[in-house]
């Protein structure tokens, strides 16, 4: 499908003479960028580790330059995978070790002692080095310690990395194994792949998983049904519906029995692919014939599929059929039904769903209220939508970023910019963190009103709160610059700043990691 993360973007001449750190008119807040792990300068440890440490202690200053054009093969074969890994904001700060590596390792590995026993001494050392090194050095590190890696039980090392909260490093080790498959006596076996699939699935790294299994002929490894289900799901989340369907068929050919979850994932695949209602009916019939009981996942998935296609009657019929069999719908199922009618503008039906939820003691959640807000807003009642914020707070459900975004957007469309901005500030004051959609909505609103100064401010705010801009953000910013009619509002300073923003983001995040 693609060779790079951004096929539409020109391949930037990385080593251009362009200044990386020109002084921008408005300075980027460096502290908001993903922290890079710091590496200690020296450790009293044996020669192997000394060697590894030399690699793992790059100069601290031009870090953002280093990964741009790394000498290792990784980028050639997995141009995007490493980017994705590097661009993920760190959830956990890597602790700077204060003592010898091994000591440090034993300090923080208490819960995994049993597993660690499987590792050889050298494995422990490798583990420590990998854990403590900046991500972009891990591959060099692996290369330089090839001998040790060949001795160590790789699956245990992978497991240990994962258990210690370093799934990104686990991925890098996995990549390294893949890269050395032919030159070394390494083997990618079923167990290693299954583990990697499980890790990526658990971390919801669908984009990475999807790209990874573009390279690995996964159907040749006879993985278990769960692993295949995870991969199908990853394909689905990245829009590769045909691949998902293909893998499902292969799985059947291999004689594996799909589980309830596999079927639910496939229902979702056809639902998202669209125009596949017959396929959905077919799968449901197949499930029934195999004796599977539909669960809440099955129901909400099928109903959402109806919603996308506007199949109101089909949704109603399916729902009624389930209830007649004694099925008690849960909140998520009601929510998807609510969306079907809300989207179609059938408010009486939507209200009756809310009533039914109440009667059945099915507790509404934030999504329920969000659907309600969306229904109001679609009908042009921005204030009524805003009033739901109060209602839900009173009933003990905190409005979330989606709730605020919906209302802010509605105010924006209604020409009530100040109301929208007030709500945006209120949102932040109450501790609700805006997400990329919230920022995009505010930016689009300001863009329409030609308020570039404020747009720049919002963009800075975005950076300082650690929210990565995506394709839509940049398009909104660029539209502001390019709009001829409003061009007089955009001065050289704005353009320069925006240019700097884009450049910095490119360097630091390798541009935004838009999932789609």
Which positions touch DNA (CB under 7 A)?
A: 198, 201-202, 204, 225-226, 229-230, 233, 237, 259-262, 264-265, 268, 295-301, 304, 307, 330-333, 335-336, 339, 365-368, 370-371, 374, 400-403, 405-406, 409, 435-438, 440-441, 444, 447, 470-473, 475-476, 479
CB closer to DNA, 22 vs 274: 274
> Any idea what the Cα angle at residue 323 is, between residues 317 and 327, rounded to 5°?
135
Q: Mapping DSSP to helix (H, G, I), strand (E, B) and coil, where does residue 120 land? A: coil
> Any idea what the Cα angle at residue 318 is, between residues 317 and 321, rounded to 5°?
85
Shortest CB 145 distance to DNA, Å: 29
Shortest CB 204 distance to DNA, Å: 7
CB closer to DNA, 33 vs 388: 388
Shortest CB 513 distance to DNA, Å: 12
| Both tokens assigned to 173 | 């080790």
Backbone phi, psi, residue 422, to 5°:
-60, -45
Longest dimension (CA), the chain: 75
Shortest CB 488 distance to DNA, Å: 20
Shortest CB 475 distance to DNA, Å: 4
Nearest-angstrom CA–CA distance, 240 and 244? 6
Shortest CB 283 distance to DNA, Å: 12
CB closer to DNA, 141 vs 468: 468
Shortest CB 490 distance to DNA, Å: 16
CB closer to DNA, 43 vs 341: 341
Alpha-carbon dihedral 206, 209, 215, 220, rounded to 10 degrees: -120
Which of 36, 44, 127, 42 has its CA nearest to residue 87?
A: 36
Shortest CB 401 distance to DNA, Å: 5
CB closer to DNA, 129 vs 438: 438
Q: Distance from CA of residue 443 to its chain's centroid?
A: 22
Nearest-angstrom CA–CA distance, 252 and 261? 15
CB closer to DNA, 93 vs 257: 257
Q: What does 292-325 look like in DSSP terms, one character per residue?
A: PPP-HHHHHHHHHHHHHHT-HHHHHHHHHHHHHT
Nearest-angstrom CA–CA distance, 463 and 267? 38
Shortest CB 436 distance to DNA, Å: 5
- Secondary structure string (H, E, C) spanning 22-57: CCCCCCCCHHHCCCCCCCCCCCCCCHHHHHHHHHHC
CB closer to DNA, 134 vs 342: 342
Q: Mapping DSSP to helix (H, G, I), strand (E, B) and coil, where does residue 473 land? A: helix
Q: What does 172-199 look like in DSSP terms, one character per residue?
A: HHHHHHHHTTTTSS----HHHHHHHHHH
CB closer to DNA, 87 vs 229: 229
Count, residues in the chain? 516
CB closer to DNA, 66 vs 226: 226
């Amino acid at each position: 499908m693609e060779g790079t993360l951004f096929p539409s973007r020109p391949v930037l001449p990385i080593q251009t003479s362009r200044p990386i750190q020109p002084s921008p008119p408005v300075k980027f807040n460096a502290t908001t960028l993903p922290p890079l792990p710091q590496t200690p300068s020296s450790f009293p440890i044996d020669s192997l580790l000394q060697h590894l440490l030399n690699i793992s202690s790059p100069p601290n200053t031009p870090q953002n330059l280093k990964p741009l054009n790394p000498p290792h093969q990784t980028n050639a074969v997995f141009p995007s995978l490493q980017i994705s890994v590097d661009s993920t904001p760190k959830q956990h700060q890597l602790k700077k070790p204060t003592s010898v590596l091994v000591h440090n390792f034993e300090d923080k590995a208490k819960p995994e002692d049993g597993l660690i026993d499987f590792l050889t001494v050298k494995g422990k050392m490798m583990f420590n080095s990998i854990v403590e090194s900046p991500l972009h050095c891990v591959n060099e590190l692996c290369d330089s310690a090839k001998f040790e890696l060949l001795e160590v039980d790789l699956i245990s090392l992978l497991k240990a990395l994962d258990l210690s909260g370093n799934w990104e490093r686990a991925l890098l080790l996995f990549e390294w194994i893949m890269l050395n498959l032919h030159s070394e006596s390494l083997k990618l076996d079923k167990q290693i792949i299954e583990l990697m699939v499980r890790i990526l699935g658990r971390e919801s790294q669908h984009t990475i998983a999807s790209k990874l299994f573009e390279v690995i002929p996964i159907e040749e490894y006879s993985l278990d049904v769960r692993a295949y289900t995870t991969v199908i799901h990853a394909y689905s989340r990245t829009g590769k519906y045909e691949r998902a369907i293909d893998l499902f068929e292969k799985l059947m050919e291999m004689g594996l029995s799909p589980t309830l979850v596999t079927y639910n994932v496939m229902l979702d695949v056809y639902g998202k692919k669209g125009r596949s209602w017959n396929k959905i009916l077919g799968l449901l019939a197949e499930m029934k014939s195999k004796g599977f009981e539909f669960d809440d996942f099955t129901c909400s998935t099928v109903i959402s599929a109806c919603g996308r296609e506007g199949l109101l009657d089909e949704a109603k019929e399916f729902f009624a059929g389930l209830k007649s069999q004694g099925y008690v719908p849960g909140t998520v199922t009601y929510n998807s039904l609510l969306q079907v009618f809300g989207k179609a503008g059938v408010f009486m039906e939507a209200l009756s769903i809310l009533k039914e939820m109440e009667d059945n003691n099915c507790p509404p959640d934030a999504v329920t209220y969000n659907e309600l807000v969306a229904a109001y807003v679609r009908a042009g009642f921005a204030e009524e939508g805003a009033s739901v914020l109060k209602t839900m707070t009173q009933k003990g459900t905190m409005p979330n970023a989606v709730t605020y975004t919906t209302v802010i957007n509605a105010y924006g469309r209604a020409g009530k910019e100040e109301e929208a901005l007030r709500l945006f500030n209120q949102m932040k004051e109450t501790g609700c963190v805006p997400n990329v959609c919230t920022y995009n909505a505010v930016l689009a609103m300001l863009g329409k009103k030609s308020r570039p100064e404020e747009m720049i401010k919002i963009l800075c705010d975005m950076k300082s709160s650690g929210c990565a801009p995506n394709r839509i953000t940049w398009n909104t910013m660029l539209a502001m610059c390019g709009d001829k009619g409003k061009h007089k509002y955009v001065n050289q300073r704005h353009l320069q700043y925006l240019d700097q923003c884009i450049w910095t983001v490119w360097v630091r995040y390798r541009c935004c990691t838009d999932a789609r």
